[in-house]
Amino acid sequence: MAKNPLHTKLCDSLGIEYPLIAFTHCKDVVAAVTNAGAFAVMGETQNTPDEIAADIKWIREKVGNKPFGIDLVLPASVPPSGTIADLKAQIPKEQREYAEGIKKRYGLSTPKEQPFVEQLGWLTQETPRKQLEVVLDEKVAVLASGLGNPDFILDAAHERGMQVWGLVGKARQAKRELDAGVDAVVAAGHDAAGHTGAIGTFSLVPQVVAIADGKPVIAAGGITTGRHLAAAITLGAVGAWTGTLWLASRESDKEMAVKERILSAIAEDTVHSACVSGFTMRTLRTKWHDEWAKPEAPRPAPAPFQLLLSGEVMQAAREQNLEGWVGEAAGQGVGFVTKMKPARQIVFDTVEEALNVFEETTGVVPGED
């Protein structure tokens, strides 16, 4: 019987059925995806060490001993430490004044609630280190690093039987991390939601595979269908890492206005800009993007200062229910996400479509393997 092309090395190394990885900030999505036989990585940059420990406990209660991962963001270019007030005091004047001007033009007042971005661990280098301690103590199967080189944590993770994955946007960066000993790299193309570089998934993945010397490469960026999953495997990846695909799932805890925008958006509704966080990032376009794209706008401030500016203004706009300000990270594959489905169903539909594509294109019926 023909082999199952979706049974990759990643399935063996993690003991999972399908080489589909969900990145999400929602633990219900993690549980549903894990129990459906795929793999999920929970983004925890916004949580305190105690909250991370509680999430891990909750997920384990739902999935038993099935493996899952935790993602933290570890950029080296942000200040070593500091309170939110310290960081706000360092926001460059030009960008602060421009953001004040935007607030005035839209009639935005100071938000009542603390902006969500002020909880992100990666605003300084100090918090992620405390978050990492919990993840190491809990010995989760995979520690993924969304930004920043995780090489300093490799020995500690490996001693605990954990894998370490690094997200990369360039072959050079992949080589550096693989040489340091990461267990896999996630090659995230320009198409991807969130922080991403200039090279598209179709160019980046084979470049990284070519220098990986047989080490696992996972493809990311714009993967929202089974056809994309089949393409990722064909490009040489051992799996597909996906984010946008889960945002409008039934279990997702995103607010309904965000889900509705995701379900109706097409690729052109996403934009790649540093105006949200100071690092280039793909998100849905909002009025904030339009303001920073104007010829008179200054360049965005470096991270994390731009994030503090965008966080405050976006929070105020949300509280005042302003039209055109509903934003979220989303990849170019968003146009294929058109129905709100349970996460389990998304796993099965994506896998089934990928197998059909292999059958259609090769004429070989994939075996059960």
Interface map 19-38 toward ligand FMN (x if CB under 6 A): ----x---------------
Shortest distance in whole angstroms from residue 258 CB to ligand FMN:
9
Identify the CA nearest to 143 among candidates 42, 213, 14.
42
40/91 with CB nearer ligand FMN: 40
How far from each other are the two terminal CA atoms of the chain, in whole angstroms? 8
Interface map 311-330 toward ligand FMN (x if CB under 6 A): -----------------xxx
135 binds ligand FMN (CB under 6 A): no
CA–CA separation, 201 vs 277, rounded Å?
22
36/98 with CB nearer ligand FMN: 36
251 binds ligand FMN (CB under 6 A): no
CA–CA separation, 121 vs 46, rounded Å?
6
Query: Binder to ligand FMN among 38, 59, 108, 188 (CB under 6 A)?
Result: 188
243 binds ligand FMN (CB under 6 A): yes
Query: Binder to ligand FMN among 91, 167, 219, 284 (CB under 6 A)?
Result: 167
128 binds ligand FMN (CB under 6 A): no
CA–CA separation, 170 vs 316, rounded Å?
36
- Sole window of 148-156, 188-196, 309-317, 355-363 interacting with ligand FMN (rule: CB under 6 A): 188-196
Structure tokens at 150: 């995780």
Query: If 0-12 CB within 10 Å is exposed, 13-18 middle and 19+ buried, where does residue 339 land?
Result: exposed
CB 132 within 8 A of CB 155: no
CA–CA separation, 104 vs 87, rounded Å?
23
335 binds ligand FMN (CB under 6 A): no
Identify the CA nearest to 364 among candidates 230, 8, 6, 356.
356
Site for ligand FMN (CB under 6 A): how many residues?
27
The residues that touch ligand FMN, with contacts defined as CB under 6 A, are 23, 43, 45, 71, 73, 146, 167, 188, 191-194, 220-223, 241-245, 247, 328-331, 333
